[in-house]
Amino acid sequence: MSKVFFLCPDDNRPYGGVRVLYRCVDTLNVAGISATVVHRKVDFRCTWFENKTSVTPASEVRFTTGDLLVLPEWYRESIPEIAPGVPHLVFNQNPHETFTGSEITKGSWKPVVSADTVGIVANSPYTFEYLSYSFPHIPIYRITLGIDPGIFFPPEGEKEKSIAFMPRKRRRELVQLLRVLDLRGALGGWTLRAIDGMTEAETARILRDSAVFLSLNDREGFGLPPLEAMASGCIVVGFHGGCGRLYMRPGTSLPIDDGEIILFAREVESVLERFGSDDGLDRMSQNAVELVRSEFSIESEAADVVSVFGGVLERVALIEPKTRVLNSSLLKRSRFPPLKEMLAYARMTRNQI
């Protein structure tokens, strides 16, 4: 029986993209399509969210006829060499990571796809547009991610006067925003709730309790946190980051264009002042919850996953792999960069704009 192997870095920090990979594997297995997450280390499994997902160590992977390998965009220029001769999909959840690490000089550029690339999967219309334009000769597929209503949902009672945010993103702008609001006395009576290094359940609990969520979307493909906050009944204010235009719409949230710190602060201050006395904010919260349930359901995501990954698996059913194993040396080098490197890169790219 053919199998789909989803390669995943050995990193147990909370990244929404990793959660998506695990859920894809669960979805395919429920649909009767054999799939597994592949980690480099034996006995490694992500534990920041509950799962019983099929996991296989890279050393035990043996490709047979009709198998399909799925590679995240995080592996970048290593993608063509991880398993040469094995048909693969690139699952790109952040198009801005596709060429990270490349220099300006053309002679230094290395391919991020190969003849074995049978397609690229995008996680949003934003990502789809980027990839379709960048790779005109490769099939680009799209799935719409969903939010699990059993994890992210509004509280039965009243929201607390707390403001939730994720400080690992756009920390420089976040500090500016909070300092400005504090200088204006706008934070009085409100509690700041930083979501950092927490489990999925802990994150959901904070979002359920919090009245306001600060969106810090920054050059990514989808931006799950603001949508999870909307599903939890939060008033979401902040940067849409491009990708967030898909769901951060007027009437469901308060989207802000990049760099508009003072506008961001004005909108937050207005929300804090009106909270508890403005029916418009209540309607916005309700609209947000309804939007997530109608357009970003977990059932819709599952249908897309089965259609895309299952469909491609059928198309490679007769392909004989030219290699049977993964190049584990590349897996060791290709992983998420340390947070310090990520922040340094973010500062450098913003200074170039």
pLDDT tens figures, 16-44: 999 999 999 999 999 999 999 999 999 99
β-strands 160-165, 254-256 pairing = unpaired
Superfamily of domain 160-295: Glycogen Phosphorylase B; (3.40.50.2000)
CATH architecture of 4-146+298-336: 3-Layer(aba) Sandwich (3.40)
Strand partners, 235: 212
Chain region(s) in the chain for CATH 3.40.50.2000 = 4-146+298-336, 160-295
Place of tokens 């939730």: 164
Stretch 186-215: mean pLDDT: 97
Q: Can you tell me the mean pLDDT for 295-302? A: 97
Q: What is the pTM of this model?
A: 0.90
What average pLDDT does the structure give for the chain?
Answer: 92
**Which token pair is 337?**
């960069």
Give the mean model confidence (pLDDT) for residues 227-243. Answer: 96
Proportion of the chain above pLDDT 90, given as a percent: 86
For residue 53, what are the contacts with CB-CB under 8 A and spacing of at least 6? 22, 25, 26, 37, 45
Q: Which of 119, 140, 116, 118 is nearest to 128 (CA)?
A: 140
H or E element in which residue 218 lies: none
CB 314 within 8 A of CB 33: no
Given this model, what pLDDT does residue 274 score? 96
Question: What pLDDT does 259 receive?
Answer: 86
**pLDDT band of 330, cuts 50, 70, 90:** confident
Per-residue pLDDT band at 169 (split at 50, 70, 90): confident
Q: Is the pLDDT of residue 335 over 70?
A: no
Reply yes or no on whether the pLDDT at 59 is more than 90: yes
Work out the pLDDT band at 336, boundaries 50, 70, 90. Answer: very low
Asked if residue 340 has pLDDT above 60, the reply is: no
Residue with tokens 């994890």: 151
User: d(Cα 116, Cα 85) in Å, to the nearest integer?
Assistant: 6
The confidence band for 347, taking pLDDT boundaries of 50, 70 and 90, is very low
What would the two tokens of residue 154 be?
A: 């509004």
Other beta carbons within 10 angstroms of residue 179's beta carbon come to 11
Contact 209, 155 (CB under 8 A): yes
- What confidence score (pLDDT) does residue 334 get? 44
d(CA 344, CA 45): 28
